[in-house]
């Protein structure tokens, strides 16, 4: 069961009131949406977006309350198309938007798409049908330079050069098709000491491939300005990131918009999970929450 990260903090910073409308741009298993629906009744709506059709189905099964379910508008699409989705669904007066950039536990444990390095699965790693390339295609047909860049930039993998070279060498013998094949290639490449650290030695390679396959950083860059445009005055944008590159994009965007007097930053420093939450949900340990409020611009007198 997926546990939403920083649920109290999300509600604290979005501060949902009765009959207000919100967007959960990363619906997943609807944890944040359910929390919002509990606060914004009886007429407030939540537009939930997820690029994985299976997650849309999961969210509908999880929400048991029929009244709440009727107020959730679940859309299978990429949040990079946010304005287009909002226009199509005709939802207005958006009081807040949540972007939880973490991967769902369902993807790791039940999707069968190769997100986990702990079990044998095909190397797909696509969230939805929109992604053009699977991880398998990148590994077997990408150039050495491209694979090295992906591992270095997106995974911040210190052994990116050696791992990329080993991948190119290994695929000459046979195609790299499964997760455990890739794990073995990484194991053969990195030093023994690296294999016994707290973080699994395949973590950064798998993370890098997932980001590349789903164009996660590009989509984040696309959605942030759309989110600000869509919010009503005094509306709030909350973003939870799990990767330093994501957090940097959000931090820089907030700062830029604050200088333009478009946003007021609410969180001077990113909010991290408390020890109690990390104990319950270890995957929350790298989460960072940033929040900002859209400034109120009075119309000039004519």
> pLDDT, tens digit, for every residue of 211-244?
999 999 999 999 999 999 999 999 999 999 999 9
Q: Are residues 11 and 102 in the same domain?
A: yes
What is the reported pLDDT for 67?
67
What is the reported pLDDT for 131?
62
Please check the confidence at residue 297 and state whether its pLDDT lies above 80.
Answer: no
Looking at the DSSP bridge assignments, the partners of residue 236 are 96, 293
> pLDDT, tens digit, for every residue of 128-152?
755 679 999 999 999 999 999 999 9
Residue 286 lies in a domain: yes
Q: Are residues 226 and 198 in the same domain?
A: no
What six digits make up the tokens of 66?
A: 């029929």
Residue 85 lies in a domain: yes
Q: Are residues 230 and 274 in the same domain?
A: yes
> pLDDT, tens digit, for every residue of 152-210?
999 999 999 999 999 999 999 999 999 999 999 999 999 999 999 988 999 999 999 99
Q: Are residues 79 and 208 in the same domain?
A: no
Please check the confidence at residue 64 and state whether its pLDDT lies above 90.
Answer: no
User: Residue 264: which H helix or E strand, with range?
Assistant: strand 263-265
Residue 120 lies in a domain: no
Q: What domain range is 146 assigned to?
A: 132-214
CATH label of the domain that carries residue 267: 3.40.50.150
Helix axes 203-214, 216-230, angle to 10 degrees: 60
Q: Are residues 144 and 22 in the same domain?
A: no
How far is the C-alpha of 248 from the C-alpha of 243, rounded, in Å? 9
- Which of residues 214, 231, 249 is at a domain's end? 214
Identify whether the C-beta of residue 264 lies closer than 8 Å to the C-beta of residue 293.
Answer: yes
Q: State the pLDDT confidence band at 298, using cuts at 50, 70 and 90.
A: low
Tally of domains within the chain: 2
What is the reported pLDDT for 269?
96
- Burial pattern 272-296, b for ≥16 Cβ within 10 A else e, equals bbeeebbeebebbebbbbbbbbbee
pTM of the entire predicted model: 0.93
């Amino acid at each position: 069961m997926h546990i939403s990260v920083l649920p109290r903090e999300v509600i604290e910073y979005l501060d949902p009131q009765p009959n207000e409308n919100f967007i959960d741009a990363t619906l997943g298993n609807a944890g944040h949406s359910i929390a919002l629906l509990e606060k914004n009744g009886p007429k407030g709506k939540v537009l939930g977006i997820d690029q994985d059709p299976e997650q849309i189905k999961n969210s509908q099964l999880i929400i048991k309350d029929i009244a709440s379910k009727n107020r959730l508008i679940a859309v299978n699409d990429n949040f990079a198309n946010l304005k287009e989705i909002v226009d199509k669904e005709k939802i207005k007066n958006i009081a807040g938007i949540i972007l939880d950039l973490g991967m769902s536990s369902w993807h790791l444990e039940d999707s069968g798409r190769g997100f986990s390095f702990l079990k044998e699965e095909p190397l797909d790693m696509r969230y939805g049908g929109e992604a053009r390339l699977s991880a398998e295609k990148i590994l077997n047909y990408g150039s050495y330079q491209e694979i090295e860049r992906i591992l270095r930039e997106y995974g911040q993998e210190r052994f990116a050069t050696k791992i990329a070279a080993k991948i190119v060498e290994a695929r000459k013998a046979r195609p790299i098709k499964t997760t455990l094949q890739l794990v073995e290639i990484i194991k053969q490449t990195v030093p023994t000491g690296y294999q016994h650290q707290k973080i699994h030695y395949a973590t950064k390679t798998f993370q890098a491939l997932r980001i590349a396959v789903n164009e996660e950083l590009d989509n984040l860059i696309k959605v942030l300005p759309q989110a600000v445009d869509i919010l009503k005055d005094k509306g709030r944008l909350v973003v939870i990131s799990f990767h330093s590159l994501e957090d940097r994009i959000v931090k820089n965007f907030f700062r830029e918009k604050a200088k333009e007097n478009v946003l007021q930053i609410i969180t001077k420093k990113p909010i991290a999970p408390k020890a109690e939450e990390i104990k319950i949900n270890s995957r929350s340990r790298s989460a960072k929450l940033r929040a900002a409020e859209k400034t109120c611009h009075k119309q000039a007198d004519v």
